[in-house]
Structure 1
Amino acid sequence: MEISSQIPWSTIAAVISWYSSNIGVLLLNKYLLTNYGFAYPVFLTLCHMTACSVLSYIAVSVMDVVPFQSIQSRTQLVKICGLSVVFCFSVVCGNISLKYIPVSFNQAIGATTPFFTAVFAYLVSRKREAWITYGTLVPVVAGVIIATGGEPSFHLFGFLICVSATAARAFKSVLQGILLSSEGEKLNSMNLLMYMAPIAMVVLLPAAILMEDKVIWITIEIARNDIRVVWLLLFSSSLAFFVNLTNFLVTKHTSPLTLQVLGNAKGAVAVGVSILVFKNPVSVVGMMGYGLTVIGVILYTETKKRYRL
């Protein structure tokens, strides 16, 4: 039977677009921050949030990609502001880590998101999983420990900041489930992005000015000598929005479990592509560690589905 008769082409297109934009923004950010020498991750994140603000507004309010959802109360706005700060922190830390560690190692650490999600779910809301589900987190963590020991390009600060980004990403997902849990407060991912991105901009602008001295003038000066930096920043920022848009579309066209499986495969593809593009050294031990982490994530997803308390 042909694949087109089993899976709609719209779903296939959404998955391919999600993979391409997600891996593309990772590789482009790595290129900007290291190979190109644009060492300003906070300003880069500010550019991303600016693009997400503009493009998400166009997608929701102008193009009607999804129905517009308004903020219902001041309390809901405060909750969104809190999520925005955590979201900001995770993205900035993720971009900073790319200055110091390869994309492949970044993805290996990022695969431990389920571990941090389980920890924060218990600490924040006392939500427990079956013991067998927690057991599957052992290979998730063990794999990263092995990958770390076998990583030729290991950088302690890069490792710690990437772990912080992964933890913050998990914390944001747990907080989102708690803070926006009532029917009147639930927002789909595109509407939530439309509200969070401008708040993130407000947080990031002073942070960029304080942490990356004269970054705006430096960027203008670089652009005068090499206009490519403008196009690279615009392309990277646009891809950052399309990561969110295509993630929404894939979620819409598939089940949560399929999304988890696709996400795991996407990480593996990103590792392979980054090694081919940047030719960063890898070890057999490091790849075995990453493989163990992926297996652990798959087992975690499966047991979480089967053994619910």
Structure 2
Amino acid sequence: MGALPVPPQVTGRLLTVGLVASWYSSNIGVLLLNKYLLSNYGFRYPIFLTMCHMTACSLLSYVAIAWLRVVPMQAVRSRIQLLKISALSLVFCGSVVTGNVSLRYLPVSFNQAVGATTPFFTAVFAYLMTVKQEAWLTYVTLIPVVTGVVIASGGEPSFHLFGFLMCIGATAARALKSVLQGILLSSEGEKLNSMNLLLYMAPIAVILLLSATLIMEENVVGVTLALARQDIRIVWYLLFNSTLAYFVNLTNFLVTKHTSALTLQVLGNAKGAVAVIISILIFKNPVSVTGMLGYAMTVLGVILYGEAKKRNK
């Protein structure tokens, strides 16, 4: 007797579970490795690290789209569209660099708590830039989002003002990019899926970051080579970290494709909580009950915000 055929529904569920597990692993992995390199290992070059990430994204995006055909390649249709993509790339660079800088000074748990306020900044930028108003209930749900971070900040044993400001900057820049993307690439002829957008944004980001690292992180290549001669593991850390940074984007795209927007939101909230727990277990940074209550309030606010937006569509 032959083996019973696996129903398509089961295969589909297994694929989704595998994609979500890969998304979680790559996302949390790159976050923890960034923290280890920038804080524990002592590699003090967040701009150069981000440039490594973007270099990997440039190369692997091309392989995935041009060779493996994960998605069809979309062409840039005009110089104006390229300028818009360049503007998005600049904001994207700012968000990643400031996020990496914040990891030098803040524990991952607090970094994730601040990062959960993205919906607040998205709502603010959407109102300021498009005069798009949400229902009053949607704005009410943002109160616990912000209040939670205020409470978490007050109860954070490892609070660092500069790190906190960098983290707020990274969160605001992420929100600004999503709003700008909706405005700049809104016409049918200019819309790009996230994989093609990354394909064009990443090389521009490399050029911008190369200039920034040469000006702001002097002799970083010499220092890295000297480190590599002492400890070859730094090369493998950077290669693995950069590859993971690309897989964060790839798995995020695939999970979005195979699940609903609501499922993605729930999974995203849970991912933040998982990252907090794992980082505390690995880095053993001190946490307070007040800090965890603040983070829980922020996550609850984000969930309520998502529900309010869904009802008002």
Coarse TM-score class (shorter-chain normalised): over 0.9
CA shift, 1:236, in A, is 0.5
Taking the aligned partners of 1:5 and 1:67, their CA distance within structure 2 comes to 27
Amino acid at match of 1:283: S
1:141 maps onto 2:134 in alignment: no
Residue by residue over 1:204-248, the C-alpha shift from the partner in whole angstroms, topping out at 9 and shown as x without a partner, is 001001111110111011111110000000010000000000000
Question: Which position in structure 1 is the counterpart of 2:53?
Answer: 48
Q: Return the TM-score normalized by structure 1.
A: 0.98
Amino acid at match of 1:114: P
Question: Which position in structure 1 is the counterpart of 2:202?
Answer: 197
| Consecutive unaligned residues in structure 2, runs of 5 or more | 1-6
1:19 maps onto 2:24 in alignment: yes
Question: Which position in structure 1 is the counterpart of 2:189?
Answer: 184
1:297 maps onto 2:302 in alignment: yes
Which structure 2 residues correspond to residues 72-111 of structure 1 after superposition, within 5 A? 72-111=77-116
Amino acid at match of 2:142: L
CA shift, 1:7, in A, is 5.8
CA shift, 1:90, in A, is 0.2
1:83 is paired with a residue whose SS is helix
CA shift, 1:6, in A, is 9.4
Taking the aligned partners of 2:62 and 2:171, their CA distance within structure 1 comes to 27
Residue by residue over 1:155-195, the C-alpha shift from the partner in whole angstroms, topping out at 9 and shown as x without a partner, is 00000000000000000000001110111111011100000
1:240 maps onto 2:245 in alignment: yes
CA shift, 1:5, in A, is 4.0
1:152 is paired with a residue whose SS is coil
Question: Which position in structure 2 is the counterpart of 1:218?
Answer: 223
Aligned residues: 306
Alignment match of 1:287 (pick from 285, 289, 292): 292
Alignment match of 1:162 (pick from 167, 170, 183): 167
CA RMSD for the aligned pairs? 1.1
Amino acid at match of 1:77: L
Amino acid at match of 1:279: K
Q: Determine what percentage of the aligned residue pairs are the same residue.
A: 72
Taking the aligned partners of 1:217 and 1:206, their CA distance within structure 2 comes to 16
1:152 maps onto 2:160 in alignment: no
Taking the aligned partners of 1:111 and 1:128, their CA distance within structure 2 comes to 21
Taking the aligned partners of 1:293 and 1:6, their CA distance within structure 2 comes to 35
Taking the aligned partners of 1:67 and 1:6, their CA distance within structure 2 comes to 24
Amino acid at match of 1:70: A
Question: Which position in structure 2 is the counterpart of 1:208?
Answer: 213
Taking the aligned partners of 2:229 and 2:11, their CA distance within structure 1 comes to 52
1:265 maps onto 2:270 in alignment: yes
Amino acid at match of 1:294: V
Residue by residue over 1:64-83, the C-alpha shift from the partner in whole angstroms, topping out at 9 and shown as x without a partner, is 01111010111110100000
CA shift, 1:257, in A, is 1.2
Amino acid at match of 2:119: P
Taking the aligned partners of 2:236 and 2:11, their CA distance within structure 1 comes to 39
Alignment match of 2:128 (pick from 123, 132, 135): 123
Taking the aligned partners of 1:58 and 1:173, their CA distance within structure 2 comes to 25
Taking the aligned partners of 1:106 and 1:51, their CA distance within structure 2 comes to 24
| Consecutive unaligned residues in structure 1, runs of 5 or more | none
2:286 is paired with a residue whose SS is coil
Taking the aligned partners of 1:256 and 1:301, their CA distance within structure 2 comes to 10
Taking the aligned partners of 2:264 and 2:132, their CA distance within structure 1 comes to 22
Question: Which position in structure 2 is the counterpart of 1:277?
Answer: 282
Question: Which position in structure 1 is the counterpart of 2:4?
Answer: none
Alignment match of 2:236 (pick from 213, 231, 235): 231
Taking the aligned partners of 2:33 and 2:11, their CA distance within structure 1 comes to 34
